[in-house]
Structure 1
Amino acid sequence: MNRLTRRIGAVAVLLLFAGSLAGCGGSGDGAGAASAGPMDAIKANLPKSDADINGTIDKGKVKKNLVVGVDNPYYLFHHDIEIALAKGYFKEFGIDSVEVKTIEDPLPALIGGSLDLALYDTDTAIAAARKGDKNLRFLSVYLGGEANVLGVGKGINSGADLKGKTITGGQFGSRNDAIIRELLRDNGVEPDRDVRIVSTGGQSNERLQAVISGTVDGASIQLRHRTLLEKAGGKVLFEETREVPQSGWSVSRLLRESPETVAAFLAATLKARQFITDQANKEDVLSIMRAKKFDIPAEYADAYAAENAPTYHVSDGGFKPADMQKFIADQIAYKTVPEGTDWRQFTYLVPLWRAQKALGLPLNPALADM
């Protein structure tokens, strides 16, 4: 799902604030954030032990009404918020309302101040912070699983059947393009020798339609597309899922102005996610989302277990630092993140730790790992 050919140049125009976030993250209230300075200064702003993390949200310090940006209209990217609203979790932590704006690229609005938080690609947010917005911080993982799926058209039943066929992973140079090539090689098919790789625009829905229409013979698709493809006579030929912290919540001004609100927002949405990733609640979740006018055909509902698995739609918002290190290193190689970027410098986890503690969850990542 990671879309790596983002308009970072447009973001750069809106990097309006050069001032760094004031740091006192070692205190129990979590007020303040690490500045984009040397690593020793960042480490000094982190809590020293689990006991320094205050899991009690002071509702009197929480901003009551929030506006957040989400870049994908698919229900998976909205249901944390909608379930938190429906179940009263936001009010439990002092937030009265959350307005969601679906925007293809929410970072300019976040940096400009018209959004309080944004759900977007992890690497793009970190790259934007690295390029100059010293207020911008990555907070928490939303999707921590990455499905690398090759969907193919009628008559293709094996790797041998792919010989001479046309395959797309999306735009050349994107992560999807790179990982579909890797998936082919893992299954004994050499890109640009055994198959012809082509560059295409659009997202995964468009790639699915390209396979169904016969425009290409195979493409990188999503888990939710399996049933639709099978109904059209195609199939998923190769598939793998791995842990990649591909998208998550980022914040800019709000972290400086009201750190309590950031912790409250994460606590409410993570409580909703705990509900969502409990598979016993599938029908309740889908009913709420359909009532909110989200289009969820049976084929997409069939993918609920996979897309809302606790390791895919990460139930605690955390990640393994080694996974993040590899992900950012990959993105540097793809030239979507600037050379020399240290992701820790632009990642601030005190609000996540506070939310996890408020919900009785283990701190993830552990302080010692950060």
Structure 2
Amino acid sequence: MKKWVKMSFSLLLISVLMISLAACNSDSQTKTKKLEKVRIAEVTRSIFYAPQYVALAKGFFKDEGLDVTLTTTPGGDKTMTTLISGGADIALVGSETSIYVYAQGSNDPVINFAQLTQTDGTFLVARNKIDNFSWDLLKGKTFLGQRKGGMPQMVGEFVLKKHGIDPHKDLTLIQNVDYANIANAFASGTGEFVQLFEPTASIFEKQGKGYIVASFGKESGHVPYTTFMAKQSYIKENSDTVEKFTRAIYKAQQWVQTHSSEEVAKAVMTYFPDTDIDIMTTVVDRYKSQGSFATDPILDEEEWNNLQNIMKEAGELPKEVDYKTLVNTKMAQDVMKK
């Protein structure tokens, strides 16, 4: 009798465990099925976008039920084309591109919903070491700038004019080199000064190919330099998804803000397999110290107006666009409240 009771109890226990395991497996499958795919097209691969890589590496997107894939589409024009044609759901690119699309009369405008960086991310690199740099040293020299019409180029010209330099008269300005080839062109001997993103600028410095002498980010002030944006129709049809996405970005922004530069570098190192961890730490520290990483996803009106002033100064503003027309901060505000 006792043996039968023990056997019955054992069978009951096994049944309970099997049911529990089946339930856990079912829950796991349900969670996997619930992951919603979101495709991001980023304008370039740069440590400048560290919070985005932190959100991916730390699983913040998955915590929100999102399966995010990331593709690099070099250049603002290519990134925006990818978004508009349906090749991506969300783009990480300069806010000026949304103005260009709107000015062309789009029926489905591209809306900025979460800001990632709030300063320019480029640095002025000189071919030769300069102990006492001043902007006047660029006069009469050849400056290898960024693509015409893009934020780096416009900020570059804005800063030059701020220091009394006419970029089209006081120096030789090269703007016809494709974005992806600018660093190689400088390394090959083109120009005495170049405007570069990180980590390329620091890598060049370590290799003796150039020397960082100034920061365009420090000189230009706060602008919505790179933001996450999507077509108005996508946001309307997928508002919950966009809110979850924004919440993950906000978590990452806070994580970057509260962790050391070395911790941030280690967290995102898989996205920069060919970059030395010491250089990455230096780059993150440089961006953190000048306040390049936005600490929250809110794109405010003052930044939007500063952007348009820079575009106007560069002669690249097709038309002034009201802040509320192309900026939607509802999701950002909601996730910050919660």
In the superposition, the TM-score normalised over structure 1's length comes to: 0.67
Does the CA-based 8 Å contact 2:265-2:280 persist in structure 1? Answer: no
Which of the numbers 69, 77, 83 marks the counterpart of 2:41? 69
* Deviations 1:5-29, CA, capped at 9 Å, x for gaps: xxxxxxxxxxxxxxxxxxxxxxxxx
Does the CA-based 8 Å contact 2:146-2:175 persist in structure 1? Answer: yes
Measure how far apart 1:318 and its partner are.
Answer: 2.0
Find the aligned partners of 2:168 and 2:311 in 1 and give their Cα distance.
22
Does the CA-based 8 Å contact 2:48-2:198 persist in structure 1? Answer: no
Please give the secondary structure, in 2, of the residue aligned with 1:323.
helix
Measure how far apart 1:266 and its partner are.
Answer: 0.4
Mapped pair 1:272 → 2:245: no
1:175/1:258 Cα in 2 relative to 1: closer, same or farther (>3 Å)?
A: closer
In the superposition, the TM-score normalised over structure 2's length comes to: 0.73
Find the aligned partners of 1:197 and 1:82 in 2 and give their Cα distance.
34
Measure how far apart 1:185 and its partner are.
Answer: 4.8
Does the CA-based 8 Å contact 1:127-1:336 persist in structure 2? Answer: no
Instruction: Give the residue type in structure 1 aligned to 2:144.
Output: T
Structure 2 unaligned spans of 5+ = 1-30
In the TM superposition, 1:91-240 aligns within 5 A as 91-93=62-64, 95-104=65-74, 105-130=78-103, 131-134=105-108, 136-147=110-121, 149-154=123-128, 156-157=130-131, 158-159=133-134, 162=138, 164-172=140-148, 175-187=151-163, 191=167, 194-203=170-179, 206-222=181-197, 224-231=199-206, 232=208, 234-240=210-216
1:156/1:137 Cα in 2 relative to 1: closer, same or farther (>3 Å)?
A: same
Partner of 2:319: 339
Measure how far apart 1:316 and its partner are.
Answer: 0.3
Does the CA-based 8 Å contact 1:168-1:200 persist in structure 2? Answer: no
Instruction: Give the residue type in structure 1 aligned to 2:195.
Output: S
1:345/1:187 Cα in 2 relative to 1: closer, same or farther (>3 Å)?
A: closer
Mapped pair 1:87 → 2:64: no
Partner of 1:4: none
* Deviations 1:223-270, CA, capped at 9 Å, x for gaps: 544533434164333434121111101122331112111111100121
Instruction: Give the residue type in structure 2 aligned to 1:74.
Output: S
Instruction: Give the residue type in structure 2 aligned to 1:84.
Output: A
Find the aligned partners of 1:251 and 1:192 in 2 and give their Cα distance.
35
Partner of 1:286: 265
Find the aligned partners of 2:228 and 2:117 in 1 and give their Cα distance.
10
Find the aligned partners of 1:76 and 1:147 in 2 and give their Cα distance.
6
Identity of aligned residues (%): 19
Measure how far apart 1:155 and its partner are.
Answer: 5.9
Partner of 2:240: 260
Does the CA-based 8 Å contact 2:54-2:267 persist in structure 1? Answer: yes
Return 160-169 or 261-270, whichever deviates more: 160-169
1:356/1:294 Cα in 2 relative to 1: closer, same or farther (>3 Å)?
A: farther
Instruction: Give the residue type in structure 1 aligned to 2:80.
Output: L
Find the aligned partners of 1:115 and 1:86 in 2 and give their Cα distance.
20
Does the CA-based 8 Å contact 1:175-1:334 persist in structure 2? Answer: no
Structure number with greater Rg is: 2
Find the aligned partners of 2:192 and 2:262 in 1 and give their Cα distance.
35
Measure how far apart 1:161 and its partner are.
Answer: 5.2
* Deviations 1:114-154, CA, capped at 9 Å, x for gaps: 42221111110233134313353111211111146322122
1:70/1:152 Cα in 2 relative to 1: closer, same or farther (>3 Å)?
A: same
RMSD, matched Cα? 3.2
The number of equivalent residue pairs is: 294
Instruction: Give the residue type in structure 1 aligned to 2:308.
Output: I
Does the CA-based 8 Å contact 2:115-2:297 persist in structure 1? Answer: yes
Find the aligned partners of 1:162 and 1:122 in 2 and give their Cα distance.
28
Does the CA-based 8 Å contact 2:160-2:166 persist in structure 1? Answer: yes
